[in-house]
Amino acid sequence: MRLPDIEDMWERDSVIDPHDIVNENVRTAKLHSKYVKLLGAEVAKFKEMKVLLEALMHEKAEFYQNGSDEVWRAKGWEEWRGGKVLKADLGRVLPQDKHIIEASVRLGQQEAKVKVLDKIMTHIQDRYWLLKNITAEKQYLAGR
């Protein structure tokens, strides 16, 4: 699921009907269930992507230090401009690798989704207080 899709879904789901507080309390539990499932799936995907990025960095380091062979060429990897890379230079070379950059960008996008979902979960947990305050305000205005 894309971040804009999550944001659009939350924009629709976050609306509270102040005239139907009982139903909103029930809906809060449903929203919690819905978004906790989404958060769990996105966190798992984030962790998997993080491990894959670390593996890619390890593989790329090996590739740059040992040079090209059939396995690397089959992946479409190209040697560094000057050939083999010294271990001391890997810290400078790896962040410039296009495959690592692409994987890092995807990981950053995934992290953004996790952060947004975490904020949504916080807001859902706060809905109970908000609904309680709406009820208290209604009672106050009604003179109870």
| pLDDT, averaged in runs of 10, over the chain (144 residues) | 96 92 89 97 98 95 83 78 82 91 98 98 90 84 80
**pLDDT given at position 144:** 66
pLDDT at 103: 97
- Residue 104: inside a domain: yes
Q: Is residue 11 part of a domain?
A: no
Give residue 56's domain range.
20-142
pLDDT at 9: 97
pLDDT the model gives residue 129: 84
Query: Is residue 38 domain-resident?
Result: yes
142/55 Cα distance (integer angstroms): 63
Residue 6 falls inside a structural domain: no
Whether 138 is in a domain gets the answer yes
How many domains does the chain divide into?
1
What pLDDT score does 112 carry? Answer: 98
Residue 12 lies in a domain: no
Q: What per-residue confidence (pLDDT) applies to 119?
A: 97
- Please choose, from the candidates 54, 77, 49, 104, the residue with its C-alpha nearest in 3D space to the C-alpha of residue 85: 77
Quote the pLDDT of residue 52. 98
Identify whether 99 is part of a domain.
yes
**Residue 4 is assigned to a structural domain of this protein:** no
